[in-house]
Amino acid sequence: MRRSMLGRLAVAACSLSLLTAFAPAAVGADGGASAAGGSGRSYKKVGYFTQWGVYGRDFQVQDLDANGSAGKLTHINYAFGNVSAEGKCFTGNIPGEADAWADYARPLDAANSVDGVADTWDQPLAGNFNQLRELKAKHPGLKVLISLGGWSWSTHFSDAALTPASRKAFVESCIDLYIKGNLPQDGTRGGAGAAAGVFDGIDLDWEWPGSAGDTDTKYRPEDKRNFTELVKEFRTQLDAYARSQRKAEYELTAFVPTAPAKIDAGFDVRRIMRDLDFVNLQGYDFHVSGEPRTAQQSALYARGDFSVHGTVEAWQRRGAPAHKLVMGMPFYGQGWTGVSGGGDGLGQPATGPAPATWAAGYEDYKALKKLADSGAYQVHRDRRGGHAWLFDGTTLWTYDDPQVLRAKTGYIREHGLGGAMFWSLDADTADGELMTAVDRGLRGR
């Protein structure tokens, strides 16, 4: 998960030499979960909603209702909440650091509101948070989690997790802001309890404990131990607050990496899995457009390379139960231009990231679908590997389409995994084509 795609591509390309490749091997369900006889009702379907997507992409919470995705999701992860230099959860109107305007101050008109009623000037909660509250009211059972960190906002996680006192204060601040909903006053918006009931838990997206992430993100060898203790502190405080509110539970999840080297550097798998409800596995960005050669970014199988299967195997080998592993899926593609060498374009040298709508080398599925439908690009598939790409002789895009997602959901059911996660919901088509494919696949249809 990322906020700054340009930084993400550059850093990921530079860090590939640190990652340990692995080949697929057989993985089976561990008995902790049932494939549920093909019914999707027992599976997690977790979609990330991006705070900034309401601007350029003009993707509003109401669009999840309009395109049918809200009725198929079990969880929405709101991306992102930031961590201050003082090790606290915070918000405000600080360019590049926090956006209270999008979160809870921006008024929505009737046409963009889930309940069809325009926001008033004096209501304490507006913006995305209020729309999420309305969406939950319309879709009982849907849970919303605040996702903390991401690629750009993991900067101060290591400091926040450093000592028992810092962990306690950090967790208290996050629960106060997001779970209790005590928002800073912003004109008529915010105040004590303004966002109470919006969030049903917390998703930890620290990228990465114990190893390099974004250029300014701190990391230490002791991060692995401290992350374990941070997870425990979140679990303890969330459970205590749930009891005080006579609520069944607040959920606690994490986004976790593919590379075995990063897993081993930052994650005591057996211990953290006791306190986490589930983890969302990185199932994409195995290769990125900052690299000099084209490659797959999200293959289900890839011998001698990163793959979804290899990621599942790596986490299970270290003690993670299958039913707590949720497979990450990209609703976007990685692209290269200036591709030479002929053939189908895969594995060939390229001059750089492909031009795109929002960031070079990164394109939403809805745009890639138009390229595929235009006839200008040929769709290529590695059916054994479970991935697809588009190539026009010069430019290549590697991506997941409904056919790939059907293979991946079949894998989830076959191996007793916990479900599917997607980055990000604003990249799907107007009619929610990818979300529908995942939902049907998990139902065995």
- If you ran DSSP here, which 8-state letter would residue 134 be given? H
Q: Which of 97, 134, 172, 207 is catalytic?
A: 207
What are the residues facing 45 on neighbouring strands?
Answer: 420
Q: What are phi and psi of 53, to 5 degrees?
A: -65, -15
Q: Are 269 and 319 in contact (CB under 8 A)?
A: yes
CA pair distance 209, 267, nearest whole angstrom: 8
Strands 75-83 and 143-149: parallel
Q: Are 129 and 103 in contact (CB under 8 A)?
A: yes
CA angle, 375 then 381 then 385, to 5°? 160
- Is residue 81 helix, strand or coil? strand
| Three-state secondary structure of 183-222 | EEEECCEEECCCCCCCCCEEEEECCCCCCCCCCCCCCCCC
HSE-CB of 252 using CA atoms within 13 angstroms = 21
Active site residue 414: no
Measured from the Cβ of residue 202, the count of other Cβ atoms closer than 10 Å reads 27
Q: What are phi and psi of 210, to 5 degrees?
A: 85, -5
What tokens appear for 320 in the block?
A: 């993670």
CA pair distance 410, 214, nearest whole angstrom: 34
Q: Are 432 and 67 in contact (CB under 8 A)?
A: yes
What are the residues facing 205 on neighbouring strands?
Answer: 149
Q: Are 178 and 81 in contact (CB under 8 A)?
A: yes
Cα end-to-end distance, the chain, whole Å: 29
What are the residues facing 145 on neighbouring strands?
Answer: 77, 201
Can you say whether residue 149 is alpha, beta or left, with left for phi > 0 and alpha for psi between -120 and 50 degrees?
left
Strand intervals (E) in 74-121: 75-83, 89-90, 93-94, 98-99
Q: Which residues are catalytic?
A: 207
